[in-house]
Amino acid sequence: MIIESKTIKKVCEIAKCCYDFGWDERNGGNISVLVDESEIQASLAGAPPICRINTGVDNSNLEGKLLLVTGTGKYFRNIPNEPKESLGIIRFCKNGFADIVWGFENGGKPTSELPTHILAHKSRLAVDDNHKVVIHSHPTNVIAMTLTHPLDSKSFTLSLWRMITESLIVFPDGVSVLDWMLCGNVEIGIKSAELLKECRSVIWAHHGIFCTGSNLDETFGLIETIEKSAELYMKTLGHRITEGISDDRLRELATAFGVTPKKDLL
Ligand code: 2HA
Ligand code: ZN
């Protein structure tokens, strides 16, 4: 049974954590995971596709792959109790089309951010063979920081690294910041995918974050760490009496933990 698959169980667990942390109010946020054929193939065998959709984007290189994705208008709070309505699996076909092969019961369809998810998967797969997961979320302090900090990726990354020791170790690739754009369309997907060639995280100003990774725990952990740094940044804004971790100390940290900080930052 697909519903018992470990990926669906994990998506339910992560959606609950995101909701409990206050990152995914109402129907905010969406998750997608490239699912291994072997995990669910036996359950799908013989079942005809439910319907075909036009994803609206170039999905070449993904043909045949399966993507588990949250549904449009669905509340993260309800995903653990209503997985068959809140989630679905699509199989990519040619020319931007995809078949819904499981889920989205009672008339659901994939998230409005599907174009960004698809383009993000393509972008990350081109640089990371282990890539599998995209999580979009609305973490409060990350968004607050986009209201109190210049929106350039370099200084934004440095400000996050300076707050807590863990940051440089967890995201040496930094974050990219995208100034406000209309969401839910191909244009923001193309811009985000471009930025994702260089790092795993894109912050959408005054909206939220898109994080990518090789599994759900790691991708969720990346958001947690960025959000924790942003929280420290916001909590100390206006009354910091130290700069936080200096450039020299960040270099020392990188050497000790064997990580390579994004070029031209330190
Ligand atoms: O609807 O978060 O960006 C869910 C969203 C859109
Ligand atoms: Zn959103």
Strand pairing class (201-204; 176-178): parallel
Q: Do 134 and 117 meet the contact criterion of CB atoms below 8 Å apart?
A: yes
pLDDT for 240 beyond 80: yes
Q: ∠ at Cα 127 (69, 182), nearest 5°?
A: 50
Cβ contacts of 159 within 8 Å, gap of 6 or more: 145, 149, 233
The pLDDT value given to residue 16: 98
Q: Which ligand 1 atom sits nearest the alpha carbon of residue 73?
A: 1
The pLDDT value given to residue 47: 82
Walk me through the domains of the chain, giving residue ranges and CATH numbers: 1-112 (3.40.225.10), 113-266 (3.40.225.10)
**Rounded mean pLDDT of 103-116?**
96
Query: Is the C-beta atom of 112 inside 6 A of ligand 1?
Result: yes
pLDDT 10s digits, 129-147? 999 999 999 999 999 999 9
The pLDDT value given to residue 45: 78
pLDDT for 122 beyond 90: yes
The pLDDT value given to residue 117: 98
Mean pLDDT of all residues in the chain?
96
- CA 137/CA 129 separation, integer angstroms: 24
The fraction of the chain above a pLDDT of 90, given in percent, is 94
* 30 CA to centre of ligand 1 in angstroms: 7
pLDDT 10s digits, 24-41? 999 999 999 999 988 887
* 204 CA to centre of ligand 2 in angstroms: 9
* Distance set, CA 240 to CA 3, 162, 251 (Å): 49, 12, 22
Query: Is the C-beta atom of 266 inside 6 A of ligand 1?
Result: no
The pLDDT value given to residue 249: 98
113: annotated active-site residue: yes
Q: Which ligand 1 atom sits nearest the alpha carbon of residue 24?
A: 2
pLDDT for 259 beyond 80: yes
Q: In which band, very low, low, confident or very high, does the pLDDT at 220 lie, cut at 50, 70 and 90?
A: very high
- CA 220/CA 197 separation, integer angstroms: 19
Instruction: Of 89, 83, 107, 98, give the one whose Cα is nearest residue 14.
Output: 83
pLDDT for 20 beyond 80: yes
Query: Is the C-beta atom of 185 inside 6 A of ligand 1?
Result: no
The pLDDT value given to residue 1: 77
pLDDT for 188 beyond 80: yes
Query: Is the C-beta atom of 113 inside 6 A of ligand 1?
Result: yes
**Rounded mean pLDDT of 201-228?**
98
Backbone angles phi, psi at 148, to 5 degrees: -130, 0
pLDDT 10s digits, 55-85? 999 999 999 999 999 999 999 999 999 999 9
SS3 of residue 46 by DSSP: coil
Strand pairing class (208-213; 201-204): antiparallel
**Rounded mean pLDDT of 234-244?**
97
Which of 113, 224, 227, 231 does the annotation list as catalytic? 113
- CA 193/CA 202 separation, integer angstroms: 9
The pLDDT value given to residue 96: 96
The pLDDT value given to residue 37: 87
Instruction: Of 52, 245, 204, 49, give the one whose Cα is nearest residue 120.
Output: 204
Q: What is the pTM of this model?
A: 0.97
Instruction: Of 137, 147, 140, 201, give the one whose Cα is nearest residue 179.
Output: 147
Query: Is the C-beta atom of 192 inside 6 A of ligand 1?
Result: no
